[in-house]
């Protein structure tokens, strides 16, 4: 029997940390075995800024996922984002020693390995080397070179680069949580795997993942990744604006945004008002939903305009680079009311909300199907593709159920022996002094105390 491939993804976000355990079912869909979620306390804009708090949040999410699934997590694929991420286009080539042999995986690996040795800026590290089109002996636009003949193999690459210190901090948090790091994946790439179809990638599509601390962009055309970017603004900035604009605390601002927030002010009437409880017996505060929408609208427009600048930098206006499938919105920020309409208005491109439910098994929890979990679903899929055995079934504690009854029987026998011994002593010696009686009593109670301690420890 083939060993089942249990995969684990860990999304270390600015507002939440999610651990997800899953496997591929017989229909090729992702079956979720367990999800653990915790509040992210040590991460700002996708970058770890407090190691201790991040470790605690990771351990909490991991423990919850393990308890729900019954699996022990050994290693995880982690999503990486943050304002330190940048991408570059690079071309490289190799001259093959024997042009009479067909091109194999080893040739591709050699070419990618060569790109991995590129000199980066001080403190930077290559995260991904993603091949685009290949060229063999001058023949261009080759998508799959394996099996072809040629002496000179050339390719253009999309290279994703990040700060080495930020990557090491993430790795340290994982290892300090008693699990191993099996792989790093750029978060927009993970989200893209979860919510985009192959047809969309072929036609040309921009994925915008609006998270708590960052907004991630991934552009695909002809089935190939063309551009990635991380913008250091997300849902938290909107919450901060509401907090300042309405003079309320952060928790109230977040609740207002989620329950009543809208990215389109025209949808709210002037007389729509929500009352916020005052702090420590103060008077309640009345907030106009129209004003709330205006605050949200201003910040969302700023974020979308920055993303649209990146789309234009890719060359969206060029007919050959046109994104026919438009924009797909995902992440927690995509759940904001009327954000789809606002994005269409700013960019003039067709827009839809991306849900990861296409790849999930039919019996999956409805909550997991929302855009909030797109990144972690993509990370689990990435782990499955890499055939990572990330978790093992926790064996039931059979030693307690099997071993404990004999111990209790032995203890009961010993108690009976002690009682019989005491009875026989009383029968033999009816005239015992009070001191020896007290001694017998305290000896027995001390023994029972030891038994109680043993049973407590055996629980």
What are 87's strand-pairing partners? 160
Q: Does the structure show a pLDDT above 70 at 370?
A: yes
Among candidate residues 134, 122, 119, 46, the one with its CA nearest the CA of residue 88: 119
This prediction has a pTM of 0.81
- Residue predicted with more confidence, 343 or 450: 343
Q: Is the dihedral of CA 256, 259, 260, 262 positive or negative?
A: positive
- Report the alpha-carbon distance of residue 296 to residue 263 in Å, rounded: 6
pLDDT at 181 over 90: yes
**Token output for 76:** 């995880």
pLDDT confidence of 272, banded at 50, 70, 90?
confident
Name the more confident of 111 and 446: 111
Share the mean pLDDT of the chain.
85
Tens of pLDDT, residue by residue over 134-151, are: 999 989 889 899 999 999
Give me the mean pLDDT over the 57-80 stretch: 94
Contact 218, 375 (CB under 8 A): no
327 sits in which H/E element? strand 327-330
In this prediction, residues 258-269 reach a mean pLDDT of 87
pLDDT at 3: 63
- Answer whether 238's CB lies under 8 Å from 299's CB: yes
Q: What is the pLDDT confidence band of residue 358, given thresholds at 50, 70 and 90?
A: confident
**Residue 195 reports pLDDT greater than 90:** yes
Say how many residues make up the chain: 459
Mean pLDDT, residues 196-204 = 95
Tokens of 34: 């367990």
CA-to-CA distance for 176 and 48, rounded, in angstroms? 14
Q: Which has the closest alpha carbon to 356: 368, 343, 339?
A: 368
| 310, pLDDT greater than 60 | yes
């Amino acid at each position: 029997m083939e060993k089942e491939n249990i995969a684990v993804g860990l999304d270390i976000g600015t507002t939440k940390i999610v651990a997800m355990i899953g496997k591929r079912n017989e229909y090729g869909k992702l079956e979720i075995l367990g999800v653990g979620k915790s509040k992210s306390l040590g991460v700002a804009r996708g970058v770890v800024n407090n190691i201790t708090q991040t470790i605690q949040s990771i351990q909490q999410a991991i423990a919850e996922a393990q308890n729900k699934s019954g699996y022990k997590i050994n290693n995880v694929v982690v999503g990486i984002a943050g304002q330190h991420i940048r991408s570059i286009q690079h071309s490289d080539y190799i001259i093959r020693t024997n042009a009479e042999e067909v091109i194999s995986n080893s040739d591709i690996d050699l070419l990618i390995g060569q790109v991995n040795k590129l000199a980066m800026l001080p403190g930077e590290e290559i995260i991904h080397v993603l091949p685009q089109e290949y060229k063999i002996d001058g023949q261009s636009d080759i998508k799959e070179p394996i099996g072809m003949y040629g002496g000179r193999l050339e390719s253009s690459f999309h290279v994703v680069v990040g700060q080495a210190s930020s990557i090491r901090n993430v790795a340290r948090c994982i290892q300090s949580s008693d699990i191993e790091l099996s792989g790093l994946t750029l978060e927009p790439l993970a989200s893209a795997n979860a919510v985009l179809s192959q047809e969309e990638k072929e036609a040309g599509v921009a994925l915008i993942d609006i998270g708590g601390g960052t907004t991630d962009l991934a552009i695909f055309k002809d089935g190939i990744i063309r551009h990635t970017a991380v913008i250091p603004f997300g849902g938290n900035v909107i919450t901060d604006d509401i907090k300042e604009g309405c003079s309320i605390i952060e928790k109230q601002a977040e609740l207002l945004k989620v329950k009543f927030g809208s990215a389109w002010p025209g949808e709210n009437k002037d007389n729509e008002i929500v009352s916020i409880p005052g702090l420590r017996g103060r008077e309640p505060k009345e907030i106009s939903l129209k004003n709330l929408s205006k605050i949200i609208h201003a910040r969302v427009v700023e974020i979308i305009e920055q993303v649209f600048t990146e789309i234009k930098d890719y060359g969206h206006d060029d007919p050959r680079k046109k994104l026919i499938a438009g924009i797909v919105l995902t992440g927690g920020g995509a759940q904001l009311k009327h954000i789809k309409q606002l994005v269409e208005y700013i960019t003039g491109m067709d827009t839809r909300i991306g849900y990861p439910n296409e790849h999930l098994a039919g019996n999956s929890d409805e909550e997991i199907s929302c855009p909030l979990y797109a990144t972690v679903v993509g990370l689990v899929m990435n782990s499955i593709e890499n055939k990572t055995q990330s978790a093992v079934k926790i064996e039931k504690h059979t030693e307690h159920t099997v071993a404990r009854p004999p111990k209790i029987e032995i203890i009961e026998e010993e108690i009976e022996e002690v009682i019989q011994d005491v009875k026989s002593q009383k029968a033999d010696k009816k005239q015992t002094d009070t001191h020896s009686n007290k001694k017998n009593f305290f000896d027995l109670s001390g023994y029972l105390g030891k038994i109680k301690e043993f049973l407590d420890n055996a629980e």
